[in-house]
């Protein structure tokens, strides 16, 4: 976090207007804080900014948490998308399911909130809820195991 | 005098506010959640203040107080129209960049807003007495969240439960109300500014291209509206703002009959809107700067005569959603963000190469705004800009916008809110 904004949108438009009058195809401005690439792309121009600091670059390579091992004989319930896991339709409402409840493949067992949209999570198999691995309102990745089902 | 501006928001609007604040010589302090720690606005703000969520009033005010802020800009969404938040700011001796809490109360309850608009002489849409199909809307709502169309009585209860749950997640308030669904309508809105006694308009915008009540494309001015009806719309918006003694920037939304151009008041959004750049493009007025002046207690610096509308502007929202998979959200890391550039093109985005799109927040990753001397030029520029735009790493709505920009109905202009329905089915 630091001081000046490097170039305003008007500055970029002006640079493009200058380039557009000539034979240039691309321009790269590299500073310690950012890289800006302006390129002719078909009929138009694009601006591409790279603000990544070394630490942030490393973060790009972050590994997705390995999915927890699922004991043999059980079926895992995964979220349809990464997001926030909710056990009940609304705060204060009873949970969709409890451990030991019987479920069918289409039974809604939880909700995943992704980008403010509520996505139902289906059991995916008929059986009984064996375990619930994630706490209510916890953030989960796409490969996470939310629950396990012991098939009937 | 505002010197230290606290920004209680994230994403592109946080960056947008930082840009104007910086130009005006203000120091910016940005609230930053852990998911946004490495975001572009967090890097470009002068200072940052960690918060757990953008919805916690107490924590947000405490952070602003600790940062010795003079004023809080709430952006849009989150706490932007929350009267309790505005009151808490004022109680803490911090200016709120938005209307008075009493106005937020009046307009924030969408049902009450209809009554007030009616009292100010504006026509309104019938309620449940209008019969099915109808719309369930969040009382605290906006942006299509918590909004559901219901065609039959037996679907009502389920739709209401879903609407309540979305409303609660988006606004922290699960109250909903009901309005008759008008099939062939256009969504036209008027940008207003008021200083508590006088109000002016900055022209209208058409936001008829929507999917599930989420705006996809917005333009200014609204195409193909007869002059007398356009004047009446704008006058009605100013009348409501003055009736409210409105202070700040606001938008009065209308449903306009696509055939007769009769109009009905829908709601008033007491904040900066996502689509404000199209108004800025045709007026040359910085709306965030106006907001800051008005929040500072200054009288309107503009008279209606000073506001000249010139040319045409179109904005498309680039969301991290996959239009080929029923708009499935696509959070993740953007590996390459080649945004269009050049004359008549503005991009408001917080996403650059390596930018993170967390699953916690809405899916907007950037707005492409094009302008031209007339609509035809703006449409042509939009097509060229979209052809150049490239987002890698997450799915985006850019391919959808390319199809919209090439659609003959869009090119002709003046489509109604059913455009997208017909569009997606071929």
Which pLDDT value is given to residue B43? 93
Mean pLDDT within B346-362: 94
| Closest residue on chain A to B169 (Cα) | A116
A116 three-class SS: coil
Q: Does B331 touch chain A (CB under 8 A)?
A: yes
Which pLDDT value is given to residue B142? 67
Which pLDDT value is given to residue B126? 83
Mean pLDDT within B4-9: 98
Which pLDDT value is given to residue A62? 40
Q: Give the Cα separation of A111 and B275 in Å (integer).
A: 31
Q: Which of B4, B186, B271, B381 is catalytic?
A: B271
- The domain spans of chain B are 4-97, 126-180, 185-424
Angle between helices B57-66 and B83-91 (to 10 degrees): 30
Question: How much of chain B, in percent, has pLDDT values that exceed 70?
Answer: 99
Q: By C-alpha distance, which of B319, B350, B312, B345 is closest to A38?
A: B345
- φ and ψ at B218, to 5 degrees? -135, 145
Tens of pLDDT, residues B84-101: 999 999 999 999 999 999
pLDDT surpassing 60 at residue B407:
yes
Q: Report all structural domains of chain A as residue ranges with CATH numbers, in order of start.
A: 9-60 (no CATH), 75-151 (2.40.50.100)
Q: Does B212 touch chain A (CB under 8 A)?
A: no
Tens of pLDDT, residues A121-135: 999 999 999 999 999
Number of CB pairs < 8 Å for A and B? 135
Q: Give the Cα separation of A8 and A16 in Å (integer).
A: 13
Q: Which residues does chain A have within 8 Å of residue B321's beta carbon, measured at their own beta carbons?
A: 115
Q: Which residue has the higher pLDDT, B183 or B71?
A: B71
| C-beta atoms of A43 and B387 within 8 A | yes
SS3 readout for B27-45: EEEEEECHHHCCCHHHHHC
Yes or no: say if B317 and B364 are a contact pair by the CB < 8 Å rule.
yes
A59 three-class SS: helix
pLDDT surpassing 60 at residue B382:
yes
Q: By C-alpha distance, which of B140, B277, B135 is closest to B213?
A: B135
Q: By C-alpha distance, which of B235, B236, B221, B232 is closest to B260?
A: B232
Which pLDDT value is given to residue B376? 98
Q: A136 to chain B, minimum CA–CA distance in Å?
A: 14
Q: Which residues does chain A have within 8 Å of residue B138's beta carbon, measured at their own beta carbons?
A: none
Which pLDDT value is given to residue B295? 97
**B166 → closest Cβ in A17, A83, A118:** A118
Q: Give the Cα separation of B183 and B257 in Å (integer).
A: 9
Q: Does B359 touch chain A (CB under 8 A)?
A: yes
pLDDT surpassing 50 at residue B69:
yes
**A1 → closest Cβ in B43, B174, B340:** B43
Q: By C-alpha distance, which of B222, B219, B221 is closest to B381?
A: B219
Q: A27 to chain B, minimum CA–CA distance in Å?
A: 13
Yes or no: say if B76 and B9 are a contact pair by the CB < 8 Å rule.
yes
This complex has an ipTM of 0.83
Question: How much of chain A, in percent, has pLDDT values that exceed 70?
Answer: 86
What would the CATH number be for the domain defined by B126-180? 3.30.1490.20
Q: B198 to chain A, minimum CA–CA distance in Å?
A: 32
What's the whole-number average pLDDT of chain B?
94
Q: CATH number for B185-424: choose from 1.10.3720.10, 3.30.470.20, 3.30.70.20, 3.40.50.1110.
A: 3.30.470.20
Q: B410 to chain A, minimum CA–CA distance in Å?
A: 21
Is the dihedral angle over the CA atoms B1, B5, B6, B12 positive or is it negative? positive
Q: Does B340 touch chain A (CB under 8 A)?
A: yes
Q: Which residues does chain A have within 8 Å of residue B333's beta carbon, measured at their own beta carbons?
A: 60
Which pLDDT value is given to residue B143? 64
Which pLDDT value is given to residue A55? 45
Question: How much of chain A, in percent, has pLDDT values that exceed 90?
Answer: 45
Tens of pLDDT, residues B113-132: 999 999 999 999 888 887 89
Q: Give the Cα separation of B413 and B194 in Å (integer).
A: 31
Q: By C-alpha distance, which of B354, B184, B328 is closest to B261?
A: B184
Residues of A with CB under 8 A from a CB of B: 1-5, 8-9, 12-13, 16-17, 20, 38-39, 41-52, 56-57, 59-60, 81-84, 89-91, 113-118, 139
**B363 → closest Cβ in A8, A13, A115:** A115
Interface test with B, best of A10, A33, A44 (most B CBs within 10 A): A44
pLDDT band at B424 (very low <50, low <70, confident <90, very high): low
Q: CATH number for B4-97: choose from 2.60.40.10, 3.40.50.20, 3.40.50.10420, 3.30.70.260.
A: 3.40.50.20
pLDDT surpassing 60 at residue B180:
yes
pLDDT band at A52 (very low <50, low <70, confident <90, very high): low
Q: Which residues does chain A have within 8 Å of residue B353's beta carbon, measured at their own beta carbons?
A: 48-52
SS3 readout for A74-109: CEEECCCCCEEEECCCCCCCCCCCCCCCEECCCCEE
Which pLDDT value is given to residue A34? 87
Tens of pLDDT, residues B288-339: 999 999 999 999 999 999 999 999 999 999 999 999 999 999 999 999 999 9
**A45 → closest Cβ in B331, B341, B359:** B341
Q: Does B354 touch chain A (CB under 8 A)?
A: yes
Which pLDDT value is given to residue A92? 84
Tens of pLDDT, residues B229-277: 999 999 999 999 999 999 999 999 999 999 889 999 999 999 999 999 9
B278 three-class SS: helix
Which pLDDT value is given to residue A63? 36
Q: Does B384 touch chain A (CB under 8 A)?
A: yes
pLDDT band at B197 (very low <50, low <70, confident <90, very high): very high
Q: Which residues does chain B have within 8 Å of residue A60's beta carbon, measured at their own beta carbons?
A: 333, 335, 354
pLDDT band at A68 (very low <50, low <70, confident <90, very high): low
- Residue B328 catalytic? no
Global pTM value: 0.87
Q: A13 to chain B, minimum CA–CA distance in Å?
A: 4
C-alpha separations of A29 from A12, A13, A39, A49, B255 in Å: 11, 15, 11, 10, 47
Yes or no: say if B136 and B145 are a contact pair by the CB < 8 Å rule.
no
**B340 → closest Cβ in A46, A52, A59:** A46
**A9 → closest Cβ in B164, B336, B346:** B346
- φ and ψ at A144, to 5 degrees? -65, 150
pLDDT band at B421 (very low <50, low <70, confident <90, very high): confident
């Amino acid at each position: 976090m630091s001081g000046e904004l490097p170039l305003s949108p008007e500055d970029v438009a002006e640079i493009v207007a200058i380039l557009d009058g000539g034979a240039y195809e691309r321009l790269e401005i590299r500073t310690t804080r950012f890289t800006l690439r302006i390129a002719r792309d078909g009929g138009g121009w694009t601006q591409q900014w790279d603000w990544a600091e070394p630490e942030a670059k490393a973060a790009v390579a972050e590994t997705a948490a390995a999915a927890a091992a699922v004991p043999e004989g059980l079926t895992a319930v995964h979220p349809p998308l990464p997001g926030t896991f909710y056990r009940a339709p609304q705060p204060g409402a009873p949970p969709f399911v409890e451990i030991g409840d019987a479920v069918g493949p289409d039974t809604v067992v939880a909700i995943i909130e992704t980008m403010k949209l509520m996505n139902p999570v289906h059991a995916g198999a008929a059986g009984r809820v064996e375990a619930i691995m994630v706490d209510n309102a916890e953030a989960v990745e796409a490969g996470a195991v939310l629950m396990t089902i012991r098939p009937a | 005098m505002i010197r230290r501006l606290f920004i209680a928001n994230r994403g592109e609007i946080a960056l947008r506010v930082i840009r104007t604040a910086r130009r005006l010589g203000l120091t910016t302090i940005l609230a930053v959640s852990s998911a946004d720690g490495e975001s572009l606005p967090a890097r470009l703000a002068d200072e940052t203040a960690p918060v757990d969520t953008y919805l916690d009033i107490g924590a947000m005010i405490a952070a602003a107080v600790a940062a010795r802020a003079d004023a809080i800009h709430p952006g849009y969404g989150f706490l932007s129209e929350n009267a309790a938040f505005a009151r808490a700011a004022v109680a803490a001796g911090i200016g709120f960049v938005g209307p008075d809490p009493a106005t937020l109360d009046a307009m924030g309850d969408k049902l009450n807003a209809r009554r007030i608009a009616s009292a100010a002489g504006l026509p309104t849409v019938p309620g449940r007495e209008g019969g099915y199909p109808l719309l369930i809307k969040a009382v605290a709502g906006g942006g299509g969240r918590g909004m559901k169309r219901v065609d039959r009585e037996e679907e009502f209860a389920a739709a209401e439960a879903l609407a309540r749950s979305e409303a609660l997640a988006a606004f922290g308030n699960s109250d909903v109300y009901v309005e008759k669904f008008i099939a062939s309508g256009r969504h036209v809105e008027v940008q207003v500014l008021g200083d508590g006694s006088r109000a002016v308009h900055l022209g209208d915008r058409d936001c008829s291209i929507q999917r599930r009540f989420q705006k996809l494309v917005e333009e200014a001015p609204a195409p193909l509206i007869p002059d007398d009806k356009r004047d009446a719309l704008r006058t009605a918006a100013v009348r409501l703002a003055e009736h409210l003694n409105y202070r700040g920037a606001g938008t009065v939304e209308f449903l306009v009959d696509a055939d007769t151009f009769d109009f009905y008041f829908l709601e008033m959004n007491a904040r900066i809107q996502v689509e404000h750049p199209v108004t800025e493009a045709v007026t040359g007025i910085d709306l965030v700067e106006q907001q800051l002046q008005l929040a500072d207690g200054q009288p309107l610096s503009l008279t209606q005569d000073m506001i000249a509308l010139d040319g045409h502007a179109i904005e498309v929202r680039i969301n991290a959603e996959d239009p080929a998979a029923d708009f499935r959200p696509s959070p993740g890391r953007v590996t390459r963000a080649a945004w269009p550039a050049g004359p008549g093109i503005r991009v408001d985005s917080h996403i650059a190469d390596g930018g993170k799109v967390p699953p916690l927040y809405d899916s907007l990753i950037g707005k492409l705004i094009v302008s031209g001397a007339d609509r035809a030029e703006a449409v042509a520029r939009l097509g060229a800009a979209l052809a150049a735009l490239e987002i890698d790493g997450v799915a985006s709505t850019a391919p959808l916008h390319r199809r919209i920009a090439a659609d003959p109905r869009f090119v002709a202009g003046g489509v109604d809110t059913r455009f997208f329905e017909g569009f997606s089915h071929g």
